[in-house]
Structures are given as structure tokens and as C-alpha cells.
Amino acid sequence: MVVGDIEVGTDVLVIGAGPAGYTAAIRLGQMGMDVTLVGPEIGGICLNHGCIPVKGIVRTLDLVADVTAAEARGIKAHGVEVDLNKVQAWNAQVIRKLQAGIRSLLNASGVQLFEGTCSFTSSTTAVVRIHGSTQHIRFRKAVIATGMHYIVPEGIRPDGRRIIFPHAVAHLHKVPGTAVILGGGIDGATMASLLAKMGTRVTLAYKSASLVPAIDDDVLQPAMKSLADLGVQTFPQASWEVHSEGGEVVIRSGNETTTRTPDLILICSPTKANVQNLSLDRTKVRLTDKGFVEVDDRYRTADPSIYAIGDVLGGRRNASVAFRDGLSVANIIAGKPGLPDYQAMTLTIEAGLDIASAGMGEKEAKKAGIDVTVSRSPYSANGGAATYGKQDGFIKVVAEKQTGRILGTQIVGPRAGDLIGEALLAIEMGARLEDVALTLHPHPELNEIFADACARAAGLSANVVKK
């Protein structure tokens, strides 16, 4: 198709080029459908401003920390410094390479890509805008995959420089001396860790009693200690006021009132769907009371020709779910069965110490009335952790007491995001504690910690000292 005033047709119009959108477009193209993908950034927030660049910076900072702390291992390193501009240049190169891979897959699948914005003109037509030009499109089906954005809190005026949202942190070229983070959850924890590792003095205030309520308190405790060791000051159950003119932030937590005038104010606010520019009023699509797109169990909106996937649906979601949504909706549109429901989703959090979870935590399982067996295995008992020189943390397994079926796993410690994969597979496969405990694991490696946690719960571990 050529950009112009002549209306062109396509089988499926996918709006949004993030993990959900480009996955759906590629899969639909592979199944022989004529697909048009529209989005201002290939890879969306995840690739350009979130997961990839944030982890790129964190892992660079962790590498520096490892080198400077390795003298006991015989490594002499002095004057190791981080050039943030070069880190950002390296990150940009990584992003371009990954974008090129996505473009290659889109091209190989026959997907027509428009790097612009899109809005509906009816339930079967839309207009694409690219650098001042327009293209009118008629479609049989459309998929909304435009992601989400942070809600601007009342009384706060983000300026993109001093008062920002988390997605801007990955592009900082100067380390702020001080920062106040308002809001907890995964974003608050990750941003506090990232900025503190950069050398910023961080104040973190959040409204709930727990920094990340989805994670069990005992799992959070080592991470909270790690954040404190990095110099992060935390204020739970807090309220705050931001005085934009004077630059002051007043934080109230318990009986304590604290005033900060930071170099950077980071707003980790709730989110809502990116649909404000889609002209949904020209369709039958409906939104929930929280501002997300309403769909049925097959991703269908109230408009028969329009589907929605990814973060626009709200709830506990991430890129892993978005990839799956994209594959599933593509199958459904092509007349095939959608993918079956997953048993467990995963969360990964950079919080001083890495945190990862899969399935149900202990407090969630008990709240659901399930009689559970809970077991922990520490990194300190693992030979692989000793060889890495990183022995803080543990793996916690939650299983149904009567059957031994694994319900969930939470990890706090190095490489948590890598280690959680086996737990996810175990939950999806309906594995019991014995299934994992009796499976041979490579030695000496970190994966043995998960096996040992299962073995301890099943009474099969040699690492338990009976009193």
C-alpha cells in the first residue's frame, strides 16, 4: 500500500506495535492473512523505554559493582566508572538491533508497516497519519494493542525534565543527585533500585503497607534491606504533596512529615489504556470504569469487528502476557482455537536484589482457603551461589498440602528472573514437589536451589538439619 488519499483494504488492521501488536501481526501474516500494522514505535514501551533499556542499565551497573567488589577473588580493579552517555549509546544500539529483528519478521510475514498513528472513522474504517500525510484504510477485523499510559495525578504537572514518569528514566544522560519516587509497586521498586545504583540519593514513598503487595512479606524483606543498603529511604503508607513551583515534596508517613527538594521527582501512578486518540466513539467499543478496553474471553470488544489485547485490557499484565495475547488473538481471528488459559503468570522486579514470582504466593493461597505446604531454600546452602560470590536470598515454594502440587514460587536473589522459568513450567504441567525434587539438576548451579526447596517440602532434602 502507498500512503495517499485512496482508501485501501486489509484483512486485519493491528493498531499498536508493541509486544502484543507486532506478535499478533506477525502470526496473522504467517497464516496467510493480509495484515497492516500501525504504531509510532516498533517494539512499543517495552523495547524503547521500559524492560530492555532499564535492564540494560541495571545490568551494566551490576557489572561495575561485581568488578569493584571482586578483590577477594583476586581481581584488582581501581577507578572503575560508568559513563552514562556511553551506556545510553550502547542501549540505543541494542534497541536498534532488536527493532531490526522485528522489522525482519514483519517483512518475512508480509505485514505492511506504517510507523504513525491511527484512529477509527467507523467500525470498519480508519485513518493513518504519518508525518502529515494520511492513509485511509478499510478492514475486516481490527486489533487494538496500543498499551497504557500513567495517569497524571491531580495537582502535579510533569514537565519531562524534573517531574517525570518511569519511562523517561531509561533515557537519563545525567545522574540526578537526589530523587523522590512517589508510588510503589513494580515500577517504584525498580526505579528506586536503578537510581540508587546510579548513585542517586533516593526517597521512596508509597501508599500501601507493602512496597509490592503481590509479593509475600518474607520475600520482600531481603530486597528491602538491599534497597536500604543502597541508601534508599522508604516511607510506607504515605501521602504527599508536590509543590511544582518551589520544587518541594512533602511526605507524610505515620506521625512523620518529611520535606524534600529533589533534583528529580518520579511519579509511579496508576495507569489507563492508550485509547484517547483512537476515536472509539465512532465504534461500539466500550471501556471499563477504570479506563481499560472491555472484552470477552476471546478478546472481542462490544464491536464485532474489533478486538483488543495487551495492556489496554488492564489488570496484572506484562510483556509475557502481551506476547501470548498476540498469538492467541491471531489464532482466533484466523478461525483457529485460541491458546488455553495459562496457570501462572510471572513477575520480575529489580529491587536491589532481584525478585521473581510465578503462580500463587503464600498469602494469596491462604486467602483462597487452600491448605498449603511452604518451603524455603537459601542461596547460602548452594554451591553455585558460593562460586558466584552471591549468597543473599532464597527460593520459596508453595504447594497444595494434600497432593504436593506446586501452586507458586517466589524468588529473591541473583538471577531470579532466569530461575523462575522452571517453576513456571512446573506449575503449568501440574508438577508435584517430588517431580522436581527427584529430577537431576546440574551441579553446582543456582537451579539446584529450586529443586532443594521442593525437596525440603517433600521431606527428601539432605540439607535439612533436624533439631
Catalytically active residues are 443
Least Cα distance to 382 among 433, 448, 458, 460 occurs for: 448
Contact call for residues 202 and 175 (beta carbons, < 8 A): no
Burial of 75 (0-12, 13-18, 19+ CB in 10 A): exposed
Cα torsion for 283, 285, 289, 292, to the nearest 10°? -110
CA distances from 204 to 83, 112, 232, 258, 428 (A): 25, 44, 7, 12, 36
Q: Which amino acid is at 49?
A: H
Cβ-proximal residues to 188 (8 Å cutoff; 6+ apart), any chain: 181, 204, 206, 211, 268
Torsional class of 234: left (φ above 0), alpha (ψ -120 to 50), beta (otherwise): beta
Please state, in angstroms and rounded to a whole number, the distance separating the CA atoms of residues 303 and 295.
10
Helix, strand, or coil here: 253? strand
Please state, in angstroms and rounded to a whole number, the distance separating the CA atoms of residues 440 and 448.
9
Torsional class of 164: left (φ above 0), alpha (ψ -120 to 50), beta (otherwise): beta
Q: Which amino acid is at 249?
A: V
Burial profile 325-357: b = 16 or more Cβ within 10 angstroms, e = fewer:
bbbbbbbbbbeeebeeeebbbbbbbbbbbbbbb
3-state SS of 437-450 is HCCCCCCCCCHHHH
Contact call for residues 312 and 144 (beta carbons, < 8 A): yes
Listed in sequence order, the DSSP H helices in 109-184 are none
**Percent of the chain as helix, strand, coil, to the nearest 5:** 35, 25, 40
Which residue is listed with cell 544522560? 173
Q: Which helix (H) or strand (E) holds 391?
A: none
Please state, in angstroms and rounded to a whole number, the distance separating the CA atoms of residues 57 and 312.
27
Q: Where does 90-177 show beta strands of DSSP type E?
A: 112-114, 117-120, 125-130, 133-144, 148-150, 163-164
Q: Is the peptide bond between 444 and the residue preceding it cis, with omega within 30 degrees of 0?
A: yes
